[in-house]
Amino acid sequence: MVDVFERERVMHGISRRKLTVLRSELVAPRMQRVTLGGAELEGFVAFGPADHVKVFLPDPADGKIYAPEFVDGRRVIPEGSGEIIVRDYTPYSFRPDAEDGPELDIDFVLHGDGSEQGGPAPAWAASAKPGSELVIAGPRGSVLAPVGAASAILVADESALPAAARWLDAFADTPVIGLFAVADAGTASYLASREGSGRELRWFTGEDRDAQVAEALRGIEIGEATFVFAAGEANSLIGLRKYLRRELGLPKDQVNVQGYWKRGVVALDHHASLDPSDPED
């Protein structure tokens, strides 16, 4: 039997790249796009819709970036290293053939206002200027979209909108329903260029937006060949994953639920189990 959800994996050599900010712009109400360039971008690849890179940020104490080196595939912490400040980000767009050399866009959610505590990543992105430096590593590998999926459902908060954009590109000829929870209705502009026939992109705002998304998902008939990707705040996804995997009994390959951040947790390890009481089988 053909597995419609089978996904090809491509491994890449791990490398660390010191990049320079070329420009930075607000592309949606809370989304800062930082465009990076530099000779070390040569050879960068990111084939998978949910690929991520490790972003190493300057230590605010001395302004220096501390990052591991990779020697024969081994991670080595340089002698005298200060604090390594690292977060996961989606390589939103890579243009290897840009006029003045390769360019990489990374979109940072500026989440540091209101009752939420900001972190070092949005603080850096908000103040990045042409010439500022950043170190990235990865992606270590890419998992491609399932080629046999007949349709897809994407669930994302703002942190996963860059991934959702990449999924929409990967599913160019596949019908997609998107359920997006955002703080500001204006954020819908972020995916405006990807609207079109076969796309139903629905936006949810308000304090209870994650709950609204979970409710909307329950109203959608999920077919046997419908692939589901969901990413965002980890706790808000526990019930959603339970619904998909346990209530509907969808197989593991059909459902990819990823905690991208967790309220009150600094630098969430996204490899940790989303729901320790119900680990993936």
Q: Does 111 bind ligand FAD (CB under 6 A)?
A: yes
Q: How far, in Å, CA of 104 to CA of 94, rounded? A: 4
Q: Which is nearer to ligand FAD, 22 or 182 (CB)?
A: 182
- Smallest separation, CB 247 to ligand FAD (Å): 25
- Smallest separation, CB 274 to ligand FAD (Å): 11
**How big is the site for ligand FAD, counted in residues (CB under 6 A)?**
27
Q: Which of 116, 215, 253, 278 binds ligand FAD (CB under 6 A)?
A: 116
Q: Specify which residues 73 forms β-bridges with.
A: none
Q: Which of 40, 88, 133, 275 binds ligand FAD (CB under 6 A)?
A: 88
Q: How far, in Å, CA of 16 to CA of 133, rounded? A: 13
**Which DSSP letter does residue 42 get?**
T
Q: Does 267 bind ligand FAD (CB under 6 A)?
A: yes
Q: Does 119 bind ligand FAD (CB under 6 A)?
A: yes
Q: How far, in Å, CA of 232 to CA of 214, rounded? A: 12
Q: Which is nearer to ligand FAD, 117 or 127 (CB)?
A: 117
Q: Which of 38, 122, 138, 178 binds ligand FAD (CB under 6 A)?
A: 122
The strand ranges marked E within the chain are 9-11, 16-28, 31-37, 53-57, 69-71, 74-76, 85-89, 91-95, 103-109, 133-137, 141-143, 151-157, 176-181, 199-204, 226-233, 255-261
**CB contact set of 227 (below 8 Å; sequence gap of 6+):** 5, 145, 146, 149, 151, 152, 153, 254, 256
Q: Which of 63, 73, 131, 264 binds ligand FAD (CB under 6 A)?
A: 264
Q: Which of 49, 58, 120, 139 binds ligand FAD (CB under 6 A)?
A: 120
Which positions lie near ligand FAD, rule CB under 6 A?
52, 87-90, 107-109, 111, 116-117, 119-122, 159, 162, 260-268, 270
